[in-house]
Structure 1
Amino acid sequence: MPDLAFAAFDLDGTLVDERGVPLPGTIEGLARLRDRGLALLLVTGRSTVLFEALGLPEHLLELFGPRLLLDNGNVEYDRATARAAYRRALPREVVPALLAAGFTELVAELDHRYVATSRRASTWFAMAHRLPRSSIEVDPQLGGRAQVGSVLVLDRVPLPDGLLGGAVEAIPFAGTAAKLLRPAGTCKTAAVTALLAEQAGEADLKRVIAFGDGRNDRCLLASAAVGVAVADSHADAAARATMRLSGPIGDFLAAFHPDTLVRRDRPDVVEDCAH
């Protein structure tokens, strides 16, 4: 089996706590992996705004490559310039279609910034993500932007069938009645695979060890040569992993040795990557 050459990491709950503070031993452990010759990749579900709001320490970020994957892989973030670019975005007609259908409580990510249709929607979203409400612009028409990353629908009415077409998928938002609209097929696995193909000419994830804890990590944990679910992971992530940690990730990284890893000969088949 090929030697491992890459380590892909989720962020929240895997490397940092809810305040963005690195978990004990993670920075030292990441440095140890890098010293062993593994290239480190960061792939998080956080949008550009929510990633920057964490204010992660530079001595953590500098352990990773110059290109970070945000928003479950739909955004590429240049660490050196702090510039974000959509790898995948929603069709531009999504916002006009929602407004024409009578939806009034929306929060859209437009050109990597959040804009709400109302003060109520702005306040709800700011409280949910611990953001200053002043950081979310209010514009009832959500106009004047070029690219749409996602749209959060707070209206408590069903989305009409066929309104959005096959380029958009709607998923529940954080256990609430809200619905998050994002590009169909959003998946960390696809993003990591594409990035490694561009950067290193890799055809698959056979030389990747992946770490995560959330349901949105399950595809990546199932597709990598080694999938590590950290302690207290979502059941779906744990079920897809080859290894499940019961203790701190810092301890695992401190004792890391390729010979002790549980590998898979070929990736699991994940038919539904929605999360």
Structure 2
Amino acid sequence: MIELSACRVAVFDLDGTLIDANNKVLDGILEGIEHLHSKKLKLYLASGRNVHSMRTIIPQLDFLQHFEPVIICNDGNVLYNQQTHEVKIINSINDSILKAILAELDGKADFVIENNSRFYASSKGAATKLFFIYIN
């Protein structure tokens, strides 16, 4: 087992780790976060959520004040600074490849692709589903 004193950084997932499906902080999390912060660990948040979703939930989670301002989003593909609102995209799909994917799938499937913080939907139905399920 690793001694806490040997650690300098802790990285946490958000959904199902720190909060439940209703965005409520899970039992014991606040105490644990405060304890780690008091031990001078740098705390980071990593999530599969996109930047828009993170911007929406940050104001609801007071304990994030103990975390470093940079949040790892989109399963590690985007860094979002919650203080400066700077977004750094690590990888994106080349525009010509994106156009080829969109052309190949046109009419064959309902889908949404997020690339460079923009969403591309194959139909209004796909865009509506994204909005109600993921964004809203």
TM range (shorter): 0.7 to 0.9
Please report the TM-score for the alignment, with normalisation by the length of structure 1: 0.43
Structure 1 pair 114/27, CA: closer, same or farther in 2 (3 Å)? farther
8 A contact 1:107–1:114 mirrored in 2 = yes
Of 37, 49, 53, which residue of structure 2 is paired with 1:50? 53
Structure 1 residue identity aligned to 2:51 = T
- Following superposition, the deviation at residue 23 of structure 1 comes to 1.4
Ranked by relative contact order (alpha carbons within 8 Å, sequence separation 6 or more), the top structure is 1
Contact 1:12 1:44 in 2 (8 A): yes
TM-score of the superposition, structure 2-length normalised? 0.81
- RMSD of the TM alignment (CA)? 2.2
From 119, 122, 134, the equivalent of 1:129 is: 134
Structure 2: runs of 5 or more not aligned: none
Whether 2:56 is the aligned partner of 1:60: answer: no
Deviation at 1:68, TM superposition (A): 1.1
More helix by share: 2
Q: Which stretch shifts more, 51-60 or 29-38?
A: 51-60
Letter in 1 for 2:126: A
1:70 matched to 2:73? The reply is yes
Aligned amino acid, residue 29 of structure 2: T
Change in CA separation of 1:88 and 1:124 when aligned onto 2, cut-off 3 Å: same
Alpha-carbon deviations, 1:136-169, whole Å to 9, x = none?
Answer: xxxxxxxxxxxxxxxxxxxxxxxxxxxxxxxxxx
For the pair shown, which has the larger CA radius of gyration, 1 or 2? 1
Partner of 1:94: 97
Q: Structure 1 71/102 Cα, relative in aligned 2: closer, same or farther at 3 Å?
A: closer
Post-superposition, which runs of at least 4 consecutive aligned residues in structure 1 deviate over 4 A? none
CA distances 1:256-275 after superposition (whole Å, capped 9, x unpaired) = xxxxxxxxxxxxxxxxxxxx
Matched, 1:108 2:85: no
Aligned length: 131
